[in-house]
Structure 1
Amino acid sequence: MNLHQLWLITRYSFTEIWRNKTFRVAFMVLIPLLIAYQVSFQSDMFNIPVEYTLVLSSFIPTQNAYMFNLLLVFPLATMGFWVHKQKKYNTLEALLVHPQGNDTYSTGFILGIIIAFMIMGSISLALAGLINLFASPTSFRPLIYLFYLVTLILPTIVFIVGITSFLAARCFKNGTVTTFFMLVYLSVDILFLSTLYHGLFDPLGILLPYTFSDFTGIADLPGFLLHRTTFLLLGIGFITLAISGLPRIPNKINGRQRAACSGILALFVGLLAGFITYNHHEQVERRHALYESVYEKHDSPNKINIIAHDIRFTYQQKEARVESRVSLYNPTGITLSEIILYLNPSLEVTSIQENLSPVPFTREAQAIVISRPVSPGDSLALDIQYQGTIDEGICYLYIPKQQKEFDIDNRHYLSCRFGHRYAFLEKDYTLLTPECLWYPITSPPVNPAHPYNTPCDFTRYTLTINHPTRLTAISQGSRHGIASGTRFENEHPQRNISLCIGKYEKREITVDSVTYELYMSKNNFEILTSIDQQLTSLSDKIRDVKETIEYEKKSSYLFNRLRLVETPVTFTSHYHPATGGSEMIQPEMVLCPERGIGILNGRIRAFAQKRLRFEISNWIEPFERSLYWELNNEHILTSWEEGPLSHLKLGTTWHYESTYNIYNFNPLFFNYINYIYSHKYPTINNLLNQIVKRPWENRDPNVAPPDSQQKALDYLNGKSYQAALSDKTLSFEIINQINELKANDLLSQIILKGTSATDFHLFVQDFMKNNRFRQVNFQTFDHAFSENFGWHLSEIFPKYFDRQELPAFQVKNFRIKRILSPTEEEEDPWTPHTKFRIEFDVLNQSDVDGVITMHLGTAIYKAGPDRRVDRMLYTPRTFSVKAREAKKIIFICPHPVVSHSIYTGLSKNRPNIFDIHDKTITLEKGMESTRDSIAGEESISPAIFFPPANEIIVDNEDDNFQITNPPAPWLKRFLGLNHNHHTHSSTAVSHWEYTLMPDCFGEYCLSCLRKRTGKGESSLTWTTPINKKGKYKIYAYIPNISYSHERSRHMITQEPIRDIQYCYSISYNNREKKINVHAPETSRWVFIGEFSLPEGECSVKLYDIGLPGQWVVGDAIKWVYQKP
């Protein structure tokens, strides 16, 4: 091949492509669009806040390369016209009479196209680099830009040019057909193929995580390069096959055959690379299944304990050599025939010795089986040597594949995916957590058969690390420098320990005998320069936060230090049911994400460095409150995208849901302190910790996640708790929510047995204090409980675990009155010592006994004349309501009541917690007073909970209620945008959807339907038989959602409040009459009209007609018969 002629043809082809109108339009549209997007979302050019607290240096080039790679496919799809054009006369016709072969001519032509689009990509990345340099606080790393150009953009261009050329040369004779086929193929790829088999069929690499961590680079660099190489080779193969199919006479004997063979060979190598990728994922799945089977095979309630563990870790590049001396003890009452240890499968055990004598053992995946009997109460010491790498496939086996992929898919910044790593053992960086089994243990971190029954050893660890002096080693325990590295000694027995080695710098501060250490990369310490002015008050802030958390937890932080360690953004941890948290939060150690990215729910809006430096006083207090909320709550509200386009992270459809917080500090005060174990009641430790870590007086009942809780309640309505614990089809979120509901139910059952919540909490707190840093059998706890309260907690467990039906409650006639002392009058103002009389009526309309709780938010005032509130207490009052029983409940509250809500717990009620108000209280009249301070319960007639005989009520939950929704447009259905999952009344949708609201009408399900106004094609219909002819007044129950939304619109736009009306039609006896009614300001029955109805059927229909942007809400219809 003549290089001069190749360059000549390439240059002419490049010139022709560059002058092409389609190419120019693509250039003039794509480049400005990308730059405008990045200037808006990733720069501080206009002082616009960026999405994350701080960003990585790779975010700007990653986002630019991703979007350019995605948008590039559409102009590339028009390549079919250009290839077909080469079969006809064109501007290169003069060269066709020259002696260039097919290979030289076609290669030059295709190279010209590739170079043209590569230059476009280079310009896009160069402009992004300018934003990085001059309008972003992140550092500029030019090699990342070059990396993405070569590994991401180039394979995409080569593959699409190759397959388009092949289709044009071999399959289709028309450029329009070729282009249409490519557009369809690429659309299908973007919508569907990119989500299959880890992106194996996606030439764009949409789902590939290729964000660079400043610590360790890309999460899976070999996998990424293998994927891109696959499509690069496939593209070369298609190009070569296309060359062999051009109509020109070849200049060489067997030229076409050679080109075809070369193309087939390139395709074969590309397919082989793809198969290697596929086989890698299959091997991971097989190993997961193997590891689970090994855990289940050796699962036994009788285990030996490790009471002391001395580890000597020698750091090597991408490999570790470790020596462990474990002291074992048999706490069971039987002789153990063998010792079972667990160690990462990639760590090879080279020897096990006892008293310098070799001990025979066998290895099965992660299990080490030592045939050495141990009598009850006996102890022994083993010396174990092992070395090798870390297999991350052993981690988080209890997380379902779908849930794991979902969590990983939502670890991103804009479209920059972080990927996931569970451990690091690399050059200059090591991060090993207990989940990866980097040292031998007897109780694995996961029990696949019973994830909530994971016993643990509390072991006294010592860790010696041999490492280069340029690196810093971090672990739990007191730190001591030695000649070869670092030694850590734990003052308390720990459940487990972690190890981190890297190029860290340290800052520390000691507040009230607790040392707080911060380890960060040297380059990242610059982000702290903007808050140096806060250092003088940092001790006070730390003290205030610690005291507040300890007060709310009713527990103290028991460790002497807290190390905050910056970890790569690619490091991942999942919520662990056994600990109530994740490995981001460990005893004495917090693993913080790189540069703090995403620690506040992943999607906070903070300010760039300029703002941090000059406007710190404006943001530091809200930031502290947000950080405190993040660390102190088990649930956080997260947002994620749904629909076929969700994987593009373009914000097509958002869904908000409460999920478990991996940065929750609760385990530091509870789960890491002790463990109550029971093989018969596997979740007892989790249940007790749920109760203790959220004491009643600090428990805001309104923080329960709505979506997963409703699914959990639906499951328990017909199935037992025992069945749920063994049901592997339940999602992780639902089983966790079931445990939380059962924890609340357990406390309610304890209260009904005569033990107050405060007494129970104090007992558990004292028991845990007396058994700190040790594992205790439940029988020991139950015996202590019996001695303290006179009854066994296990007495209620058979019914507690096996109950399958749920109660259903109705609550009416809530009243709250101020109690006057003998010397007070009604006109006198109330004081912080004023008492209140509360009463309400309740009906249990089910066939099982139930428990209902009144949550009272009471204000505790500080001493002094100014009546300042010191704190809020959420005080519960729990009442038993037997099956089919109706009663009036009266009780006295000794403190001023600020809020009151009903919590029905495990019941059929939806929602199962709602605010309740005294409807007799008005602004003019105020609260009534009484001198009656007698509390008690009395039976009442259930008839007051049902409509009178002359009323007919049809609710939206009844069978004779109908919803009419017109089909969504075909494009919307195709893109999956016709289904919405909002459950809160703050969001209106285009189709009728259910929402739960306390102000809705219903027996035990308080729901309604709402939507935006339409064209009258959607409707709701309530139908009832009229068995007695006569006059009927018809009413509609209308929640105040529409009016509330209108008031919100008025406050935002300052436009006047519009007159909101609903359009109803009443149909009976082949007649129909339409009536407009005004939306009420408060939720209530609204009169529609009076009608003379014959016997037969009567229907009331509500249309989605109204003002633009108005909400239409349907709930219940009432027919009231009027006596003649």
Structure 2
Amino acid sequence: MNLHQLWLITRYSFTEIWRNKTFRVAFMVLIPLLIAYQVSFQSDMFNIPVEYTLVLSSFIPTQNAYMFNLLLVFPLATMGFWVHKQKKYNTLEALLVHPQGNDTYSTGFILGIIIAFMIMGSISLALAGLINLFASPTSFRPLIYLFYLVTLILPTIVFIVGITSFLAARCFKNGTVTTFFMLVYLSVDILFLSTLYHGLFDPLGILLPYTFSDFTGIADLPGFLLHRTTFLLLGIGFITLAISGLPRIPNKINGRQRAACSGILALFVGLLAGFITYNHHEQVERRHALYESVYEKHDSPNKINIIAHDIRFTYQQKEARVESRVSLYNPTGITLSEIILYLNPSLEVTSIQENLSPVPFTREAQAIVISRPVSPGDSLALDIQYQGTIDEGICYLYIPKQQKEFDIDNRHYLSCRFGHRYAFLEKDYTLLTPECLWYPITSPPVNPAHPYNTPCDFTRYTLTINHPTRLTAISQGSRHGIASGTRFENEHPQRNISLCIGKYEKREITVDSVTYELYMSKNNFEVLTSIDQQLTSLSDKIRDVKETIEYEKKSSYLFNRLRLVETPVTFTSHYHPATGGSEMIQPEMVLCPERGIGILNGRIRAFAQKRLRFEISNWIEPFERSLYWELNNEHILTSWEEGPLSHLKLGTTWHYESTYNIYNFNPLFFNYINYIYSHKYPTINNLLNQIVKRPWENRDPNVAPPDSQQKALDYLNGKSYQAALSDKTLSFEIINQINELKANDLLSQIILKGTSATDFHLFVQDFMKNNRFRQVNFQTFDHAFSENFRWHLSEIFPKYFDRQELPAFQVKNFRIKRILSPTEEEEDPWTPHTKFRIEFDVLNQSDVDGVITMHLGTAIYKAGPDRRVDRMLYTPRTFSVKAREAKKIIFICPHPVVSHSIYTGLSKNRPNIFDIHDKTITLEKGMESTRDSIAGEESISPAIFFPPANEIIVDNEDDNFQITNPPAPWLKRFLGLNHNHHTHSSTAVSHWEYTLMPDCFGEYCLSCLRKRTGKGESSLTWTTPINKKGKYKIYAYIPNISYSHERSRHMITQEPIRDIQYCYSISYNNREKKIKVHVPETSRWVVIGEFFLPEGECSVKLYDIGLPRQWVVGDAIKWVYQKP
């Protein structure tokens, strides 16, 4: 092949492509679009809030390369026209001669196309680099831009040009057909293929994590390069086969055959690379199954304990050499025939010795089986030597695959995916957590058979690390420098320890005998520029936060230090049901994400330097509140994208839900302090911690429950708690919600037995204080409980674990009245000592007994004349309501009541927690007063909970209710956008959608349907038989959702509040009458009209007709017979 002629053809092809209108339009649209997007979301030109400015140095090039790679495919698909242009020949073909052979001409022609698009990509990345340099606080790393150009964009261009050329040369005779086929293929790839099997079939690499961490680079660099090499080779193979199929004379004997063979060879090598990727994922799945089976095989309630563990870790490049001396103790009452230890499968055990004598052992994956009997109460010490790398596949086996992929998929900044790493053992960085089994243990961090029953040893650890002086070692315990490195000694027995080694710098501050240490990369300390301005008050702020958390937890922070360690953004941890947290929060150590990315939300949030630097007075207080909320709550409101394009991470459609918080500090006060173990009741430790770590006095009942709680309630309505614990089909979120519901139910049962929540909480706190850093058997706890309260907690467990039916409650006639003292009059203002009389009626319309709770938010005032509120207490009052029982409940509240809610807990009620109001209180009248301070319960007639005989009510939950939705457009059906799902009340969609709200009408399910106004093609229909002819008034129950939305629209747009009307039609006796009804400001029954109805069927229909952007809401219809 003549290189000079190849260069001439390449230049000619490049010039022709660059002058083409299609290419120019693509260039003029794509480049400005990308730059406008990045200027808006990734620069500080507009003082964009925190989550878009202070980011990693790789975020700007990653986002640019991702979007360019995604949008590039559509202009590339039109290259079929160019190939057909070169392929076409007619009677003038003899005149179109040229000295180049087919290989030279076609290769140069295709190279020109590739170079043209590569230059476009280079320009796009160069402009992104300018944003990085002049409009972003992040550092500029030019090699990252070059890396993405070569590894991400180039393979995409080569593959699409190759397959387009192949189809044009070998399959289709028309350029339009080729282009149409490619557009369909690429659309299918973006929508579906990219989400299949880790992106193995996706040439664009949409799901690949290729964000660079400043610590460790890309999460899976070999996997990324192998994927891109696969499609690069496939593209080259298709190009070569396309060249062999063009009609020109090859100028060589067997030239076409050689080209075909070269193309087939390239395709084979590309497919082989793809198979290696496929086989890697298959091996990971097989190892997961093997590790789970090994855990289940050796699962036993009788385990030996490690009481002391001395570890000597020698740091080497990408490998560890470790010596462990473990002191073992048999706490069981039986002789253990063998010792079972667990260690990472990739760490090879070279020797095990007892008293300098070798001990025989066998190895099965992560299990080390030592055939050495141990009598009850006996102790022994083993010296274990092992070395090797870390297999991250052993981590988080208890997390279902779907949940793990969901968690990982939502770790991103815009479209920059982080990927996941569970451990690091690399040249200049090491991060090993207990989950990866980097040292021998007897109680593994996971129990696949019973994920919530994971016993643990409390071990006194000593860790010695041999490492270069340029690196810093970090772990739990007191730190001591030695000649070869660092030594850590723990003052308390710990459940486990971690190890981190890297190029860190340290800052520390001591507040009230607790030392707070911060370890960060030197380059990232700039994040703290504005915090440094607050150093004079930092001690006070730390003290205030600590005291507030300890007060609310009713527990003290027991450790002498807290180390905050910056970790790579690619490091991943998941919520662990056994600890109630994640490995981001460990005893004495908090693993913080790189540069703070993601710590304030499930989505990625960082903090802007500009806001920190210039607006610190306005920003620091809400930051502190947000940080406090993040550290102090087990759940956070997180958001993710949903819909068929959600995997593109372009921010098109967001869904919000409460999820588990991996930065929750609760385990530091509870789960890491002790453990209550029971083989018979596997979740007892989890249940007790759920109750104690969120005391009833401090629990806000108005926090919206997650959507998964609804599914948990549905599951328990017909199945027992015991069945749920052994049901492996339940998702991780649902089983966690079941545990939370059962924890609340357990406390209610305890209260009904005569033990107050406060007394129970104090007992558990005292028990934990007396058994700190120990694993305790439940029998010991139950015995102490019975000595304190004169009954056994285990008495209620048989019914508690086996009950399958749920109660159903109706609550009516809520009243709250101020109690006047003998010297007070109604006109006198109330004082902080004013008491209140609260009463309500309740009916349990099920066949099982139930428990209902009134949550009262009461104000506790500071001493002094200014009557300032000191704190809020959320106090529960729990009442038993037997099956089919109706009663009036009256009780006295000794403090001013600010809020009041009904919590039905484990019941058929939807929602199971809601505010309730005294409807007799108005602005004009105010609250009623009384001198009656007598509390009690009395039976009442159930009839008051049902409509009178002359009324017929049809609710949207009844059988006589019908929804009419027109079929969605074919494109929406194809994309899967016509599905129904529950959303928050702040949104309305184009189809009827169920919503749970306390203001809705219903017996025990308070729901309605809502949608945006349409063309009248959608409707709701309520139908009832009329058995007695006569005059009827027809009412519609209209919740205030529509008016609330209109009021919100008025506040945002300043447009006047419109007169909202609903369009109803009444059908009876083959007649139909349409009526418009004004929507009220408050939820209530509204008269539709009065009609003389004959015997037969009568229907009321609500149409989706109304004003633009109006909501239409349907709930219940009532027919009231009017006496003559």
How far did residue 614 of structure 1 move? 1.4
Q: Distance in 2 between matches of 1:997 and 1:243?
A: 66
For the structure 1 residues 602 and 901, does the alpha-carbon distance in structure 2 shift closer, same or farther, using more than 3 Å as the test?
closer
How far did residue 980 of structure 1 move? 5.0
1:1086-1115 Cα offsets, whole Å, 9 max, x none, are: 011110000000000001111111111100
Q: Greater shift after overlay, 701-710 or 194-203? A: 701-710
Instruction: Give the SS at the match of 1:701.
Output: coil
Instruction: Give the SS at the match of 2:87.
Output: coil
Instruction: Give the SS at the match of 2:898.
Output: strand
Contact residue 43 and residue 50 of structure 1 kept, 8 A: no
Q: Distance in 1 between matches of 2:969 and 2:98?
A: 56
Structure 2: unaligned runs, 5 residues or longer: none
1:214-263 Cα offsets, whole Å, 9 max, x none, are: 00000000000000000000000000101110101121111111100000
Instruction: Give the SS at the match of 1:99.
Output: coil
1:684-733 Cα offsets, whole Å, 9 max, x none, are: 00000000001110011222533111000000000000000000000000
Q: Distance in 1 between matches of 2:617 and 2:981?
A: 39
Instruction: Give the SS at the match of 1:703.
Output: coil
How far did residue 385 of structure 1 move? 0.1
Total equivalences in the alignment: 1124
Q: Distance in 2 between matches of 1:531 and 1:751?
A: 46
Q: Distance in 2 between matches of 1:410 and 1:395?
A: 19
Q: Distance in 1 between matches of 2:872 and 2:972?
A: 48
Q: Distance in 2 between matches of 1:53 and 1:753?
A: 56
Q: Distance in 2 between matches of 1:265 and 1:12?
A: 29
How far did residue 1116 of structure 1 move? 0.4
How far did residue 605 of structure 1 move? 6.3
Q: Distance in 2 between matches of 1:199 and 1:39?
A: 29
How far did residue 91 of structure 1 move? 17
Residue number in structure 2 paired with 1:273: 273
Q: Distance in 1 between matches of 2:615 and 2:785?
A: 55
Contact residue 908 and residue 1005 of structure 2 kept, 8 A: yes
For the structure 1 residues 221 and 605, does the alpha-carbon distance in structure 2 shift closer, same or farther, using more than 3 Å as the test?
closer
Q: Distance in 1 between matches of 2:349 and 2:873?
A: 55
Contact residue 53 and residue 605 of structure 1 kept, 8 A: no
Contact residue 52 and residue 604 of structure 1 kept, 8 A: no
Contact residue 51 and residue 603 of structure 1 kept, 8 A: no
Contact residue 413 and residue 604 of structure 2 kept, 8 A: no
How far did residue 52 of structure 1 move? 4.5
Q: Distance in 1 between matches of 2:1085 and 2:348?
A: 74
How far did residue 553 of structure 1 move? 0.4
How far did residue 50 of structure 1 move? 4.9
How far did residue 813 of structure 1 move? 0.4
Are 1:470 and 2:457 an aligned pair?
Answer: no
Q: Distance in 2 between matches of 1:15 and 1:258?
A: 30
Contact residue 193 and residue 199 of structure 2 kept, 8 A: yes
Instruction: Give the SS at the match of 1:621.
Output: helix
Q: Distance in 2 between matches of 1:141 and 1:654?
A: 32
Contact residue 41 and residue 52 of structure 2 kept, 8 A: no
How far did residue 602 of structure 1 move? 4.2
Q: Distance in 1 between matches of 2:350 and 2:379?
A: 23
Residue number in structure 1 paired with 2:891: 891
TM-score calculated relative to the size of structure 2:
0.99
Q: Greater shift after overlay, 985-994 or 836-845? A: 985-994
How far did residue 977 of structure 1 move? 2.2
Residue number in structure 2 paired with 1:873: 873
How far did residue 48 of structure 1 move? 2.4
Residue number in structure 2 paired with 1:539: 539
For the structure 1 residues 403 and 64, does the alpha-carbon distance in structure 2 shift closer, same or farther, using more than 3 Å as the test?
same
Q: Distance in 2 between matches of 1:729 and 1:604?
A: 30
Instruction: Give the SS at the match of 2:462.
Output: strand
Q: Greater shift after overlay, 1020-1029 or 637-646? A: 637-646
Instruction: Give the SS at the match of 1:86.
Output: helix
For the structure 1 residues 956 and 250, does the alpha-carbon distance in structure 2 shift closer, same or farther, using more than 3 Å as the test?
same
1:288-316 Cα offsets, whole Å, 9 max, x none, are: 00000000000000000000000000000
Q: Greater shift after overlay, 691-700 or 636-645? A: 636-645
Q: Distance in 2 between matches of 1:437 and 1:678?
A: 24
Q: Distance in 1 between matches of 2:611 and 2:915?
A: 41
Instruction: Give the SS at the match of 2:719.
Output: coil
Residue number in structure 2 paired with 1:25: 25
Contact residue 52 and residue 597 of structure 1 kept, 8 A: no
Q: Distance in 2 between matches of 1:53 and 1:700?
A: 34
Residue number in structure 2 paired with 1:1017: 1017
Instruction: Give the SS at the match of 1:1034.
Output: strand
1:643-694 Cα offsets, whole Å, 9 max, x none, are: 2211001223221111000000000000000000000000000000000001
How far did residue 103 of structure 1 move? 1.3
For the structure 1 residues 390 and 95, does the alpha-carbon distance in structure 2 shift closer, same or farther, using more than 3 Å as the test?
farther
1:270-295 Cα offsets, whole Å, 9 max, x none, are: 00000000000000000000000000
Q: Distance in 2 between matches of 1:356 and 1:709?
A: 56
How far did residue 979 of structure 1 move? 2.7
Contact residue 655 and residue 982 of structure 1 kept, 8 A: no
For the structure 1 residues 115 and 95, does the alpha-carbon distance in structure 2 shift closer, same or farther, using more than 3 Å as the test?
farther
Residue number in structure 1 paired with 2:747: 747
Contact residue 452 and residue 686 of structure 2 kept, 8 A: yes
How far did residue 527 of structure 1 move? 1.4
How far did residue 1057 of structure 1 move? 1.0
Contact residue 423 and residue 432 of structure 1 kept, 8 A: yes
How far did residue 118 of structure 1 move? 0.3
Q: Greater shift after overlay, 561-570 or 702-711? A: 702-711
For the structure 1 residues 474 and 1014, does the alpha-carbon distance in structure 2 shift closer, same or farther, using more than 3 Å as the test?
same
How far did residue 97 of structure 1 move? 2.9
Q: Distance in 1 between matches of 2:1016 and 2:394?
A: 57
Instruction: Give the SS at the match of 1:296.
Output: helix
How far did residue 968 of structure 1 move? 1.3
Are 1:254 and 2:254 an aligned pair?
Answer: yes
For the structure 1 residues 188 and 604, does the alpha-carbon distance in structure 2 shift closer, same or farther, using more than 3 Å as the test?
closer
How far did residue 376 of structure 1 move? 0.1
Instruction: Give the SS at the match of 1:702.
Output: coil
For the structure 1 residues 773 and 121, does the alpha-carbon distance in structure 2 shift closer, same or farther, using more than 3 Å as the test?
same
Instruction: Give the SS at the match of 1:111.
Output: helix
TM-score calculated relative to the size of structure 1:
0.99
How far did residue 90 of structure 1 move? 12
1:419-452 Cα offsets, whole Å, 9 max, x none, are: 0000000000000000000000000000001000
For the structure 1 residues 635 and 93, does the alpha-carbon distance in structure 2 shift closer, same or farther, using more than 3 Å as the test?
farther
Contact residue 52 and residue 598 of structure 1 kept, 8 A: no
Q: Distance in 1 between matches of 2:123 and 2:974?
A: 35
Q: Distance in 2 between matches of 1:437 and 1:90?
A: 71
Q: Greater shift after overlay, 593-602 or 151-160? A: 593-602
For the structure 1 residues 781 and 92, does the alpha-carbon distance in structure 2 shift closer, same or farther, using more than 3 Å as the test?
farther
Q: Greater shift after overlay, 748-757 or 638-647? A: 638-647
Contact residue 453 and residue 682 of structure 1 kept, 8 A: yes
For the structure 1 residues 72 and 91, does the alpha-carbon distance in structure 2 shift closer, same or farther, using more than 3 Å as the test?
farther
How far did residue 367 of structure 1 move? 0.1
How far did residue 531 of structure 1 move? 2.3
Instruction: Give the SS at the match of 1:109.
Output: helix
Work out the percentage of aligned pairs sharing the same amino acid. Answer: 99
Contact residue 408 and residue 420 of structure 1 kept, 8 A: yes
Q: Greater shift after overlay, 40-49 or 994-1003? A: 40-49
Contact residue 655 and residue 981 of structure 1 kept, 8 A: no
How far did residue 983 of structure 1 move? 2.9
Instruction: Give the SS at the match of 2:636.
Output: strand
Residue number in structure 2 paired with 1:818: 818
Instruction: Give the SS at the match of 1:323.
Output: strand
Instruction: Give the SS at the match of 1:300.
Output: coil
Residue number in structure 1 paired with 2:300: 300
Contact residue 659 and residue 705 of structure 1 kept, 8 A: no
Contact residue 635 and residue 705 of structure 1 kept, 8 A: no
For the structure 1 residues 124 and 53, does the alpha-carbon distance in structure 2 shift closer, same or farther, using more than 3 Å as the test?
closer
How far did residue 988 of structure 1 move? 1.1
Q: Distance in 1 between matches of 2:261 and 2:610?
A: 60
How far did residue 47 of structure 1 move? 2.2
Q: Distance in 2 between matches of 1:862 and 1:35?
A: 56
CA RMSD, Structure 1 to Structure 2 (Å): 1.3
For the structure 1 residues 1091 and 228, does the alpha-carbon distance in structure 2 shift closer, same or farther, using more than 3 Å as the test?
same
Q: Distance in 1 between matches of 2:435 and 2:77?
A: 47
Q: Distance in 2 between matches of 1:155 and 1:921?
A: 70
Contact residue 360 and residue 371 of structure 1 kept, 8 A: yes
How far did residue 941 of structure 1 move? 0.4
Structure 1 stretches of at least 4 aligned residues deviating more than 4 Å after TM superposition: 89-96, 604-607
Structure 1: unaligned runs, 5 residues or longer: none
1:296-352 Cα offsets, whole Å, 9 max, x none, are: 000000000000000000000000000000000000000000000000000000000
For the structure 1 residues 572 and 605, does the alpha-carbon distance in structure 2 shift closer, same or farther, using more than 3 Å as the test?
closer
Q: Distance in 2 between matches of 1:963 and 1:495?
A: 55
Contact residue 698 and residue 873 of structure 1 kept, 8 A: yes
1:611-643 Cα offsets, whole Å, 9 max, x none, are: 321111111111111111111110011111112
Q: Distance in 2 between matches of 1:98 and 1:933?
A: 108
For the structure 1 residues 464 and 555, does the alpha-carbon distance in structure 2 shift closer, same or farther, using more than 3 Å as the test?
same
